[in-house]
Amino acid sequence: MVPDPSQPPLPPGATAAAGFWEARYRARDTGWDIAQAAPPIVEWFSGPDAPPPGQRVLVPGAGRGHDALFLAQRGDRVVAVDFAASALAAIRRRRRALGLAPDRCRTLRADVLRLGERFAGQFDLLVEYTCYCAIDPGDRDAYAAMAAKVLRPGGLLVGLFFPFRTGTPGPPFPVSGPEIRERFAAAFEVETWITPTSSIERRQGEERLVVFRRRG
């Protein structure tokens, strides 16, 4: 997902197609995959503000599940959602290798924008990393609505938002502070907003660790 200026922008809506992502996994063309849980997420969950293990966690656009499996290992009950079957298969393989029971990290093949009704109020946490920047920006309101719907009142959206930059085509589609604050303001209060220093080197300065609390 490192932008390649020699590539023409994708046609509108291309990234909304499950086939686009599945093809990338099959071709192992997955430059976004950092092969580990994102360090700022690990750091936040090791800190004083993190809720105790045992949370019901949704990880949308989980990819190969590095963050989802980190949370499952922490002791949470995770649902990892993606619409790329190959990504979910990778999660299940890794889950087995880690000796985790399936219910510690369930995999669900679904469109993250359509989870609201099915999971209304069922999660304590939603952990976001590089799903928001992967969906078409025109779908971001639907993403925020989904997050508001699936979280119980008082639940947390822990998001490592990326990439804070301008002028590049997507994916990853650039994000900005005002855009994120405005979009989530109706249903969430900001609890934390920091520029982490633990981002991997090539994403230094381009990420913000944001914790939103779902209003009651």
Ligand X SMILES: C[S@@+](CC[C@H](N)C(=O)[O-])C[C@H]1O[C@@H](n2cnc3c(N)ncnc32)[C@H](O)[C@@H]1O
Which residues are near ligand X by CB under 6 A? 1, 21, 32-33, 61-64, 81-84, 87, 111-113, 129-131, 134-135
Q: How far is the CB of 216 from ligand X (least distance, A)?
A: 28
Q: How far is the CB of 122 from ligand X (least distance, A)?
A: 17
Q: How far is the CB of 11 from ligand X (least distance, A)?
A: 16
Residues across the chain: 216
Query: Could you give the CA distance from residue 82 to residue 97 in angstroms, rounded to a whole number?
Result: 20
**Three-state SS string across 148-201, please?**
HHHEEEEEEEEEEECCECCCCCCCCCCECHHHHHHHHCCCEEEEEEECCCCCCH
Which residue lies nearer to ligand X by CB, 58 or 131?
A: 131
Query: Could you give the CA distance from residue 151 to residue 125 in angstroms, rounded to a whole number?
Result: 7
Q: How far is the CB of 111 from ligand X (least distance, A)?
A: 4
* The token pair that represents 95 in the structure block: 């889950």
* The token pair that represents 79 in the structure block: 């649902």
Q: How far is the CB of 103 from ligand X (least distance, A)?
A: 21
Which residue lies nearer to ligand X by CB, 69 or 81?
A: 81
Which residue lies nearer to ligand X by CB, 210 or 215?
A: 210
Which residue lies nearer to ligand X by CB, 1 or 215?
A: 1
- What is each CA distance from 61 to 29, 133, 140, 192, in whole angstroms? 16, 10, 13, 22
Which residue lies nearer to ligand X by CB, 64 or 149?
A: 64
Amino acid, single-letter form, for residue 26: R
Residue nearest to ligand X (CB): 63
